[in-house]
């Protein structure tokens, strides 16, 4: 029992160290009507970094806001998918919640999902902590601010300031009810600065404890079919048309996740970046349709696998993935490869593979420090 108790202690973080002069602002849930910039602006005005524990449902609904959090130097972490009371659900649903939020995180940001989280409503028990440990996660709790009740900024500060010290993790909310929390940031920060405390992210708190966060990444592995239902059409190797392509692609609104390109020059620069192929074969294809560019894909070879590095299309429908995959399958067949690996838009890709009866497997891997 003592070994199990030690495991539980390792699975939950309540605070940082007492000697690093760090503390953390953390925010749960995710706003709907209110812009996330309200909280980001308040943090940045105080030179503070925040950590946002948001649901997968929110990330699916607001991927641009999820990317904004990371672009601006803050941390985004999971808070389950549906904001369930995790102490009230069976193990298979518990694990489904983790998987679902990981997939939502990766598709919203283009990054692997951190393997630290916060339970909604702080709803957990020893058994759930064991399940969390089994999944390779840690739970991050802290000092509750009670801002979820809609209290004022001063009332929030009155709760947090008496607890303010090195290592404190403040639990606030970023939603449409906790409207006092943005202004409370300044009130708490003013006192923290007097104590020479610095507001940092949860990963920094974890590192101060000697616990570097790990991450979970998902990918689809598609077996190359012997025959295609329909051959790919109108795809050509990219050669000298890159400037013209970039000028058209910038108008498509294609997602480039955290490192977004917003001008034709930026698009061209990013499309010219070398692939991580380490000298193996590479492919860069573009589809032309009705006198304009319609889609593109970049891929490279690793072992017996064609890795799709990135792809984009003029239209947003999932059917565009079918056209791209047909092109990729033809390249893989010609190269004698056995599989295709995809890490973006994987939920829709998996559904398309099922409809086309292509054998596809959803695979996760745990990563160390990024």
User: Which residues contact residue 165 at a Cβ distance below 8 angstroms, ignoring those fewer than 6 apart?
Assistant: 18, 23, 195, 197
Specify whether the CB–CB gap between 249 and 293 falls below 8 A: yes
Is a pLDDT exceeding 60 seen at residue 126?
Answer: yes
What's the confidence (pLDDT) of residue 262?
Answer: 79
What's the confidence (pLDDT) of residue 304?
Answer: 96
Is a pLDDT exceeding 70 seen at residue 256?
Answer: no
Is a pLDDT exceeding 90 seen at residue 15?
Answer: yes
Stretch 286-312: mean pLDDT: 92
Q: What is the dihedral of CA 129, 78, 153, 40, to 10 degrees?
A: 150
What's the confidence (pLDDT) of residue 255?
Answer: 65
pLDDT in tens, 203-224: 999 999 999 999 999 999 999 9
In DSSP notation, 312-326 reads EESS-STHHHHHHHH
What is the average pLDDT value for the chain, to the nearest integer? 92
Residue 359 CA to its chain's centroid (Å): 26
What's the confidence (pLDDT) of residue 335?
Answer: 96
More confident residue, 231 or 127: 127
Q: How much of the chain, in percent, has pLDDT values that exceed 70?
A: 95
Among 66, 71, 2, 3, smallest CA distance to 35 is for 66
Q: What is the dihedral of CA 314, 315, 321, 326, to 10 degrees?
A: -60
- In the 8-state DSSP scheme, what is residue 230? S
What's the confidence (pLDDT) of residue 324?
Answer: 94
- Confidence grade of residue 3 (pLDDT, cut at 50, 70, 90): very low
For the chain, list the domains and their CATH numbers: 2-213 (3.20.20.370), 218-367 (3.40.630.30)
What's the confidence (pLDDT) of residue 240?
Answer: 79
- Confidence grade of residue 287 (pLDDT, cut at 50, 70, 90): very high
Is a pLDDT exceeding 70 seen at residue 345?
Answer: yes
pLDDT in tens, 72-125: 999 999 999 999 999 999 999 999 999 999 999 999 999 999 999 999 999 999
Q: How much of the chain, in percent, has pLDDT values that exceed 90?
A: 77
Stretch 345-350: mean pLDDT: 93
Is a pLDDT exceeding 60 seen at residue 259?
Answer: no
Instruction: Give the least confident one: 117-126, 178-187, 244-253.
Output: 244-253
Q: What angle do CA 286, 289, 293 make, to 5 degrees?
A: 45
Stretch 118-146: mean pLDDT: 96
Among 235, 219, 222, smallest CA distance to 329 is for 222
What's the confidence (pLDDT) of residue 241?
Answer: 83
Stretch 62-73: mean pLDDT: 95
Which contiguous run of DSSP H or E holds residue 250? none
Task: Give the Cα separation of 370 and 296 in Å (integer).
Answer: 28
H and E: helices and strands count for the chain: 13, 17
In DSSP notation, 258-295 reads TS---SHHHHHHHHTSPPS-TTS-EEEEEEEETTEEEE
What's the confidence (pLDDT) of residue 10?
Answer: 86
């Amino acid at each position: 029992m003592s070994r199990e108790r030690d495991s539980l202690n390792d699975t939950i973080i309540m605070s940082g160290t007492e000697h690093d002069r760090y503390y953390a602002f953390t925010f749960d849930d995710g706003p709907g009507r209110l812009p996330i910039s309200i909280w980001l602006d308040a943090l940045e005005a105080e030179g503070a970094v925040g950590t946002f524990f948001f649901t997968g449902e929110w990330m699916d609904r607001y991927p641009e806001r999820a990317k904004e959090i990371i672009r601006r130097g803050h941390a985004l972490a999971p808070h389950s998918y549906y904001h369930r009371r995790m102490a009230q659900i069976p193990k298979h649903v518990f694990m489904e919640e983790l998987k679902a939020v990981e997939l939502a995180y990766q598709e919203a940001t283009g990054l692997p999902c951190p393997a630290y989280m916060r339970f909604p409503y702080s709803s957990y028990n020893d058994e759930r902590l064991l399940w969390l440990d089994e999944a390779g996660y840690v739970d991050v709790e802290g000092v509750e601010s009670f801002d979820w009740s809609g209290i004022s900024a001063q009332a929030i500060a009155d709760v947090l300031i008496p607890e303010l010290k090195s290592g404190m993790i403040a639990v606030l909310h970023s939603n449409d009810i906790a409207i006092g929390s943005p202004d409370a940031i300044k009130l708490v920060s003013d006192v923290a600065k007097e104590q020479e405390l610095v507001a940092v992210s949860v990963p920094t708190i974890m590192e101060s404890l000697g616990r570097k966060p790990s991450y979970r990444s998902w990918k689809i592995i598609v077996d190359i079919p012997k025959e295609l239902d329909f051959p790919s059409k109108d795809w050509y190797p990219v050669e000298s048309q890159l400037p013209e392509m970039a000028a058209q692609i910038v108008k498509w609104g294609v997602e480039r996740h955290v490192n977004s390109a917003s001008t034709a020059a930026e698009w061209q620069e990013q499309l010219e970046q070398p692939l991580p192929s380490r000298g193996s074969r590479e492919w860069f294809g573009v589809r032309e349709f009705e006198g304009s560019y319609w889609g593109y894909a970049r891929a490279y070879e690793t072992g017996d696998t064609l890795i799709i590095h990135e792809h984009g299309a003029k239209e947003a429908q999932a059917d565009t993935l079918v056209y791209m995959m047909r092109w990729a399958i033809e390249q893989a067949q010609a190269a004698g490869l056995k599989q295709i690996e995809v890490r973006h838009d994987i939920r829709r890709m998996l559904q398309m593979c099922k409809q086309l009866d292509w054998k596809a497997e959803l695979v996760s891997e745990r990563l160390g420090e990024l």
